Amino acid sequence: MSVVERQTAETRIRLEITNGDGRSTVATGHRFLDHMMVTLARYSRLDLSLQASGDLKHHLIEDVGIAFGTAIADQTPITCARYGHRTVPMDDALVEVTIDLGGRPYYRGPVPSSLYDHWFRSFADHARATLHVRVLRGADRHHIVEAAFKALGLALHDALIDSGTVFSTKGSVRW
């Protein structure tokens, strides 16, 4: 279990994740952000509890990405499978996500929403993950962003599996 509480002059966030079956309780005051976090929980099969509020949509979305990334970094076992790769079709959209939970933050996108592109960058930085999101097709921004969250959830599930061995020629890295 990982619990992250983040309070700034702009936002108040309490986020908890545990390995589970994708149950979630999410309340941010922004319906689309709620929808994306519920989707992410379901597809990653992480149980998620999230309460968040903020002054601006930009600050709230960014800080939820930071909090979720921090929780993933805390939750990642040293012997995780580390890599995940999934492609998700959603109506007109086709989005590919590849992740490495090896401790090197890097993000390459974009998705066609500056707010949610910022969420993915904030998540990758704080999860200490390499994250590539490729939009292969699509015109509907909602479908593209949602397909990206679904693909991230599936890729995270694969990457977080405890393999029993460290997938690095360096061995385990201590922070």
Over residues 128-172, the pLDDT tens digits come to 999 999 999 999 999 999 999 999 999 999 999 998 888 676 666
Neighbouring CB atoms inside 10 A of 84's CB total 25
Q: What is the pLDDT of residue 173?
A: 54
| Beta-bridge partners for 94 | 89, 137
- The answer to which of 23-37, 118-132, 154-168 has the lowest mean pLDDT is 154-168
Q: For tokens 């076992």, name the residue.
A: 77
Continuous segment of H or E residues that includes residue 129 = none
Continuous segment of H or E residues that includes residue 125 = helix 114-127
Provide the pLDDT confidence category of residue 95 given band limits of 50, 70 and 90: very high
What digits encode the pLDDT tens for the residues 49-68?
A: 999 999 999 999 999 999 99
What angle do the packed helices 141-160 and 114-127 form, to 10 degrees? 10
Per-residue burial over 29-47, b if 16 or more Cβ lie within 10 Å, else e, is ebebbbebbbbbbbbbbbb
**CATH fold group of domain 2-160:** Ribosomal Protein S5; domain 2 (3.30.230)
